[in-house]
């Protein structure tokens, strides 16, 4: 017997995913039409540049020089993860935004980067942070949504776990 899913469920939060995808694709269209390749454009001197670059791999250019198969691997992985997150949204109560928002952010970010991989053959990155000579790898809005979503899932798990443990300890034992 399967567990009953909440009604109404949190699938409405997929609208947030769609907004992330839209914002991500809009920003990348702006970058491709307005920023020079591989030339920093200072936003905040000593900290933040617009820097148009491309990534054929994953985070921190992981597998970027793997010969092309990684495009399909990362596309399939992102679609699978997005499907899992959507399935989890289906089983989440609509009002449980602390669980729903991180899932929706990850779905939007993952699919935003999938669109890039399929349209351009790589992901367009353009946000570059740096301090002195240390430069953080360039990223984009989709990447930011994925990171914020992952942190949200971790924090929700951490604090919900503590709450459940407190509630369990507060329950009188026979």
For β-strands 48-55 and 123-131, DSSP reports them as: antiparallel
* Joined tokens for residue 89: 């949204």
Which 3-state string (H, E, C) describes 53-82?
EEECCCHHHCCCCCCCHHHHHHHHHHHHHH
Would you say how long the chain is, in residues? 174
Note if 125 is an active site residue: yes
Note if 65 is an active site residue: no
Residue 2 DSSP code: P
Spatial CA neighbour of 23 closest among 163, 142, 162 = 142
123 pairs with which residues across the strands?
55
Q: Which residue among the candidates 24, 143, 160, 168 is catalytic per the annotation?
A: 143
CB proximity list for 62: less than 8 A, separation 6 or greater: none
- 3-class SS at 93? strand
**CA gap 105, 71 in Å, rounded:** 21
Enzyme catalytic residues: 125, 143
């Amino acid at each position: 017997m399967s567990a009953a899913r909440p009604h109404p469920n949190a699938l409405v939060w997929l609208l947030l995913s769609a907004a992330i995808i839209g914002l991500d694709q809009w920003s990348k269209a702006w970058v491709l039409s307005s920023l020079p390749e591989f030339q920093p454009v200072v936003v905040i001197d000593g900290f933040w540049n617009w820097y148009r670059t491309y990534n054929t791999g994953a985070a921190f250019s992981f597998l970027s020089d793997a010969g092309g198969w990684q495009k399909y691997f990362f596309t399939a992985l992102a679609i699978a993860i997005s499907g899992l997150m959507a399935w989890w949204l289906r089983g989440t109560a609509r009002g449980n935004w602390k669980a729903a928002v991180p899932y929706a952010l990850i779905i939007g970010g993952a699919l935003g980067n999938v669109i890039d991989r399929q349209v351009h053959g790589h992901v367009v990155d353009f946000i570059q942070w740096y301090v002195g000579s240390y430069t953080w790898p360039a990223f984009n809005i989709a990447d930011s949504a994925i990171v914020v979503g992952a942190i949200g899932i971790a924090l929700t798990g951490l604090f919900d776990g503590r709450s459940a443990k407190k509630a369990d300890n507060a329950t009188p034992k026979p």
